[in-house]
Amino acid sequence: MHPVERVIRTLGGKETDRVPTFCAMVEERTYNEVLGRPLISQEKLLTNPAVRFILDRWGTPLTRYVFQPEVTRSMEKRIRAQVELGFDALWAILDETFIIIDHHTMVRFTGSRFNLQPDGHGNMTYMYREPCFRTTEDFDAWPYWPDADALAHSAYTFFRKMVSRYGHKACLFGQASAYGIQESLLWAVGFEKMPVWIRREKDRVRRFIEINEELCLKTNMAMLDAGVPVIIQTDDFAFKSGPIMNPKLIDELFGPSYRRIIKAVHDRGAKYVLHSCGDNTLLFDTFISWGVDGLHAFETTSNVDIFREKRLHGDRVTIIGGVGVDYLLTDRSRDEEVTEEVRRLIAGLGPGGRFIISPVHSLSTIPAHKLTVMLEAARRYGTYPISTPPKEAS
């Protein structure tokens, strides 16, 4: 069976030949191991005093012409590496959301500030630092709101190329410059103030949601026009111990937007997958009511029980994830441990279909070799009918 058919059938709840595999993206360290290291590492380049000087002086105007093309090249390398590793499905991102402020600061166009910093493996990565909207004046004067039409245009151009290069080898889960509506709000106003904004700044919060919904709708349509078969959206609605806010409030605030976004994807015959970190146990029914076809990550460091969720919801939604990145997919684990965990997950989650095995995250600590071990085990144990007795799964 072709990987795209295998994945689409699984997302639709239909029988397939084996459990598909999905890669939750790869970071620079991992794709360098697959594709070969660059002559000059990102860290050496971006910590060079001359480059720092340039970024500090002219970072913002150079973002579009120098920084962004490099980021886009990096995004294509991520896709290529995932294909070369041999995954059935992969996370393909176009990220045109950042503006460089100085050599260690970037802002995302929806109002959040990020550190640009070394990842410990010779590359640069970004990490959320703080909100940009401390006051309503900050919100009203924000100069970087996204141009959804321009972003949709570049999403179409990028994904047309990616589909033509890689679409026949793997199923592309596309995401183009639109991050989760809720998490974007959280980053923009800060978690400590988000409940107050929601209570006191209803009009601005509504405006913020509308801007992000429009961005999702337009970039999703552009990706679908380019031939992407699955749209994936990140929106971390939970922390380690449970939902960030009351599930009812989440549904009231963000549900209408997500229902429209997902309906538009379904109207064009495509599938929709939501990635949400943390323990979403109390939110799965809400997500399913929005119309999602698949749910990713079932983070192993949170309290979520992926086996329970498969039993409860496996007839209505495809469970994607399960392979931990805190220990299993690191240099510290043994290959046999990865193989055994893949076998255990497939034994417990594979029967009945609607399961795609996948790392729960992308991290710079993931060695390419461990992903290969995971893939080999998935192919060995994942052929239907699953032969491992289910009682061996916990």
Partner 1 sequence: MMNGSIAAVRDAIDTLDLDNVCSLVQKCLDEGLTPEEIIEHGIGQGLDIVGKKFETGEYFLADLIMAGEVVKEAMPILKRRMNPGLASKRGTVILATVAGDIHEIGKNIVGMILSANGYEVVDLGVDVSASSIIDTARSTGARLIGLSALLSTMVHSIREVVEASRAAGLREQVRIVIGGACTSQALCAEMGADAYGETAIDALRIFNGFSQAA
Interacting residue ranges for partner 1, rule: CB under 8 A? 115, 120, 127-129, 191-192, 194-196, 199-200, 239-246, 249, 282, 301-302, 326-327, 365
Taking each helix axis from N to C end, the angle separating 68-85 and 148-166, rounded to the nearest 10 degrees, works out to 30
User: Phi/psi of residue 291, each to 5°?
Assistant: 110, 10
Judged by beta carbon, residue 281 or residue 383, the one nearer partner 1 is 281
Judged by beta carbon, residue 54 or residue 249, the one nearer partner 1 is 249
Judged by beta carbon, residue 359 or residue 382, the one nearer partner 1 is 359
Taking each helix axis from N to C end, the angle separating 335-349 and 368-381, rounded to the nearest 10 degrees, works out to 40
- Residues 97, 183 contacting (CB under 8 angstroms): no
Structure tokens, 55:
């970024």
Q: Which of 186, 158, 172, 19 is nearest to 95 (CA)?
A: 158
Distance separating alpha carbons of residues 251 and 191, to the nearest angstrom: 18
Distance separating alpha carbons of residues 355 and 80, to the nearest angstrom: 24
Judged by beta carbon, residue 19 or residue 283, the one nearer partner 1 is 283
Judged by beta carbon, residue 145 or residue 191, the one nearer partner 1 is 191
In sequence order, what are the beta bridge partners of 99? 107
Judged by beta carbon, residue 170 or residue 283, the one nearer partner 1 is 283
Judged by beta carbon, residue 68 or residue 330, the one nearer partner 1 is 330
Strand (E) or helix (H) holding 114: strand 112-118
CB of 135 to partner 1, least distance (A): 15
Distance separating alpha carbons of residues 183 and 180, to the nearest angstrom: 5
CB of 240 to partner 1, least distance (A): 5
CB of 151 to partner 1, least distance (A): 28
Other C-beta atoms closer than 10 Å to the C-beta of 77 total: 17
Structure tokens, 189:
């106003």
Judged by beta carbon, residue 40 or residue 196, the one nearer partner 1 is 196
| Ordered DSSP codes for 9-31 | HHHTT---SB--BEE----HHHH
C-alpha R_g of the chain: 20
- Residues 114, 71 contacting (CB under 8 angstroms): no
CB of 316 to partner 1, least distance (A): 23
CB of 180 to partner 1, least distance (A): 15
Q: Going by C-beta distance under 8 Å and a sequence separation of 6 or more, which residues neighbour residue 167? A: 4, 227, 228
CB of 317 to partner 1, least distance (A): 22
CB of 72 to partner 1, least distance (A): 26
Judged by beta carbon, residue 363 or residue 377, the one nearer partner 1 is 363
CB of 167 to partner 1, least distance (A): 34
Structure tokens, 318:
């495809």
Task: Name the 3-class secondary structure at 356.
Answer: strand
Q: Going by C-beta distance under 8 Å and a sequence separation of 6 or more, which residues neighbour residue 87? A: 3, 21, 22, 23, 170, 375
CB of 228 to partner 1, least distance (A): 31
Q: Which of 216, 162, 218, 208 is nearest to 188 (CA)?
A: 208
CB of 278 to partner 1, least distance (A): 8
Judged by beta carbon, residue 117 or residue 154, the one nearer partner 1 is 117
Tally: H helices and E strands in the chain: 15, 14
Residue appearing with tokens 């790869």: 26
CB of 129 to partner 1, least distance (A): 6
Judged by beta carbon, residue 327 or residue 384, the one nearer partner 1 is 327
